[in-house]
Amino acid sequence: MMAQPVPHQTTADKKRVKVYELRNNDWFDRGTGFCTACFVTEEQKEPRVIVQSEDQPDRLLLETKIVKEDGFQKQQGMRQMDARQYGLSEPVRMPRSSHQAHSPGARKFIDHVQQQFQAAMGGPGRSCITYPGECLLIRRAADDGLSDDLAMDMPTSIQLPPAELGTLIDIENTLRNLSQSPSGRDALAKAIMSEDYIAKLIPLVEMAEDMESLGDLHHLCNIMKTVVLLNDTGLIEHAVSDECVLGVVGAMEYDPDFPTHKANHRQWLNNQGRYKEVVRIQDDQVRRKIHQTYRLQYLKDVVLARILDDPTFSVLNSLIFFNQVEIVQHLHMTPGFMTDLFAVFGDPTVQPLRKKEAVIFIQQMCAISKNLQPPARQGLYGNFLQQGLVPVINYGLRHPDVTVRVGATDILGSILEFDPSMIRKTIYEQTHRKQAPLTDALIDLLLVEVDLGIKSQLTESLKVLLDPNVPGSGPPPENREGFMPKGKHQVSSDPQQDAFIAHFYEHSVAKLFKPLLDLEKRPNMKFNALEDGIFGYLNEILCFYIRHHTFRSKHFVFDHNIASRFGQLLACKQKHLQLVAIRFFRHLILLRDPFFTKHLSDRRIFGPVLDTLLRTLPRDNLLSSACLDFFTSINYEGDRELARHIMENYREKVVALSHVDYFRGMLMRWDQSRGYTVSEVDEEDEGRGVGRGAMMEHLAVDQAQEEYL
């Protein structure tokens, strides 16, 4: 094969260039040579670019055929084409102060090659310098002054191979090569949409399945993945349309990374039974949006979950978000839709299954509405409440199906998170009409619910609804660890909220804390799994009420002897119930309120806590740490009356714990204040036979503990 120079090409047209080879993502210098354009003398002239070595003119550093269908790709300061993984760059000497980034000679050379190419191909065309399977790179190197002279742009349109089983490999390679740069992805997306290329590929899936050609199915899977990962919104919407979605996901069922497994995407998406219409949606466009959104979510969460990159993830999330907002706003503004939706719960002839679906539908609308602007969200929630949302929540809270109960609590939580006053107004109306308020339904479910997630949501709801800090009253004044300052009373600035709190303490608070109050008549402290789970939530709620409800909570704690009820939990074998009691007592201590400290002293709570510490201290665990933290929270100087109560009534137990620094210091300060000396304290310890060394020796020979460990 002979190569002839381009006619009229002078020595000046030869450009001195450097050739690089790409190996494992690293560029290696192949040498310097002269680049020329030429034709191969055969029946059909093939335009080529040839680089001859500068040192050895007979040796070719690069010979690249010019192909019409391919084009340059520009990436971060370099012009590249898919070729034999070689790099071509022209050394251009210029002063550092020069701003001329392009070499006129190289531009002239490329223009000349392009003219020769057009003449050979019979007219204007898309020019490139490439060879199948290779990579030609013309780039500027910062260290040698080389410039990116061959500044050829990606063509605005490209010609894709025909959609046939025999060309799947070419299609896959073409799509992969063109998707390497932003300009290539844009041109490729336009070509796929203009030629309706996806529709041409879909029949090939069924043909390959009929022929049981697993290799072709693997190629189709890679092609569909490349198409979706182009991050073009129009292309993705077209891929999940009614006409294309089954073919697209059908091709992705045959993942070459798992050649022995086949997914069931078409079977899942083709099941129309998953689409529920509680109320008929008349607008066909909205219905299509709903189906499209479901398919986009399935594509994001299932089909592409393993290979999804950040750009495609963002595009899919954006499409889902805008679709959901459009759907919710349309349903909200459709006349009569909300009335028909809530009429389902008032009709006794409606099947329970349809009511369940209605609750789940409202739950999904509330979840989507979190993405709406505040005015639109407020309008939607206001419409819900006007149509009768609170009875729907009551219905869901008492439903035997846990899915419906979760839906009802989610609906309530969404509105409380946005604006609690919207629910409070309805509760005010219920109490004014002498109806059972929504809080009673929350209490009833909290006491019997076994799902921990629902219990947590109910606890938060009862705290928010009974919070006296209504909007506009400002945050509560708090001190260390979020407790009310000593002697500071928090009073609601809203008369309605204050009246509701009074109604709650009069009619509902005893029902809420009934499991705790019933401990007084309980013969033993043995609880099953259902019973012992409620005390932690009750402790959390009661501590919140004590911080915010001031005198009402004090009356409740005093009248029902709440401290003694929590003290009974210290006799339980379950460590987590003992921790509940310790947390409650520590909460009262940190309030620095004389009322609660006197209440603890009068109920002789410190004795059982000291006994618990004595039983537990040989083991270093959470319970012993909690007990020590409880006592260290007592300030000896600030709580002299409390310290005096402990030393006068439980001195022997404190002496038994004198090996602990805190109790040794407390004992020393107490005795010094009473006129004793340190030596007298030591003699007293020796007389009791409970010296620190003896105690530690006793603890060290706990044979049961040693065997356990």
Q: Return the pLDDT at 297.
A: 93
Q: What local confidence, expressed as pLDDT, does residue 675 receive?
A: 66
User: Residue 376 is encoded by which pair of tokens?
Assistant: 């639109």
- Give, for 519, the enclosing helix (H) or strand (E): none
User: What pLDDT is recorded for position 129?
Assistant: 38
Other CB atoms within a 10 A radius of the CB of residue 53 amount to 17
More confident residue, 548 or 705: 548
Q: How far apart (Å, rounded) are the C-alpha atoms in residues 413 and 363? A: 10
Q: Give the mean pLDDT of 583-599.
A: 92
Of the candidate ranges 149-163, 247-261, 504-518, 532-546, the one whose mean pLDDT is the lowest: 149-163
Chain centroid offset of residue 398 CA: 30
Q: What is the per-residue pLDDT across 418-454, written as a single tens digit (0 to 9) for each?
A: 999 999 999 999 988 988 999 999 999 999 999 999 9
Q: In angstroms, rounded to a whole number, what is the distance separating the alpha carbons of residues 244 and 227?
A: 13
Give the fold, CATH level 3, of 3-139. Answer: PH-domain like (2.30.29)
What integer pLDDT is reported at residue 181 of this predicted model? Answer: 87
Determine the 3-state secondary structure of 621 from DSSP.
coil
Task: Say which residue the tokens 């993405």 belong to.
Answer: 371
Asked whether residue 553 carries a pLDDT value surpassing 70, the answer given is yes
CA angle centred on 252, ends 246 and 255, rounded to 5° = 155
Cα–Cα distance between 227 and 193 in angstroms, integer? 11
Q: Does the pLDDT value for residue 380 go beyond 60? A: yes
- Using a 10 angstrom Cβ sphere, with 0-12 exposed, 13-18 middle and 19 or more buried, the burial of residue 633 is middle
50-59, 131-140, 198-207, 424-433: segment of lowest average pLDDT: 131-140
- CA separation, residue 371 to residues 314, 365, 389, 464 (Å): 15, 11, 20, 22
Cβ atoms of 516 and 535 within 8 Å: the answer is yes
Q: Residue 674's CB: how many other CB atoms inside 10 A?
A: 8
- SS3 sequence, 445-473? HHHHCCCHHHHHHHHHHHHHHCCCCCCCC
Nearest CA-CA partner of 50 in 29, 78, 19, 22:
19
Q: Report the DSSP pairing between strands 15-23 and 26-40.
A: antiparallel
Q: What does the alpha-carbon distance between residue 430 and residue 422 come to, in Å, rounded to a whole number?
A: 13
Element (H, E) at 415: helix 402-418
Three-state SS for 41-98 is: CCCCCEEEEEEEECCCCCCEEEEEECCCCCCCEECCCEEEECCCCEEEEECCCCCCCC
- The answer to whether 365 and 331 are in contact (CB under 8 A) is yes
The residue ranking higher by pLDDT, 705 or 622, is 622
Q: Is the pLDDT of residue 4 over 70?
A: no
Residue with tokens 């290539």: 184
Helix (H), strand (E) at residue 3? strand 3-5
Helix (H, G, I), strand (E, B) or coil at 676: coil
pLDDT, residue 68, reads: 54
Q: What is the pLDDT of residues 100-109, one digit of tens each?
A: 334 455 555 5
Mean pLDDT over 243-261 rounds to 92
pLDDT of residue 27: 75
| 475 token code pair | 């945050």
Radius of gyration of the chain (CA): 40
How many whole angstroms separate alpha carbon 614 and alpha carbon 660?
A: 11
pLDDT classification of 366: cutoffs 50, 70, 90: very high
Q: Where in the chain is the domain with CATH 2.30.29.30?
A: 3-139
Integer Cα distance of 444 and 60 in angstroms: 88
Question: 25: pLDDT confidence band, cut at 50, 70 and 90?
Answer: low
pLDDT at position 222 is 94
Cα–Cα dist 178/191, whole Å:
11
d(CA 459, CA 457) in angstroms, rounded, equals 5
What does the pLDDT read at residue 127?
38
Quote the percentage of the chain above a pLDDT of 70.
Answer: 74
Highest mean pLDDT: which range of 22-31, 101-110, 134-143, 613-622? 613-622
Ordered alpha helix ranges (H), 303-419:
310-333, 337-346, 352-369, 374-387, 389-397, 402-418
Cα separation of 178 and 187, whole Å? 8
What are the contacts of 379-387 at 24+ separation with CB within 8 A? Answer: 379/332, 380/328, 380/332, 381/415, 381/418, 381/419, 381/422, 382/422, 383/332, 383/338, 384/338, 384/415, 385/415, 385/422, 385/423, 385/426, 387/338, 387/339, 387/341, 387/342
pLDDT at 107: 55
- Range scoring the smallest mean pLDDT among 412-426, 602-616, 679-693: 679-693
* Cβ 106 vs Cβ 117: under 8 Å: no
Work out the mean pLDDT of the chain and round it to a whole number: 79
Which residue in the block uniquely carries the two structure tokens 């919710």?
328
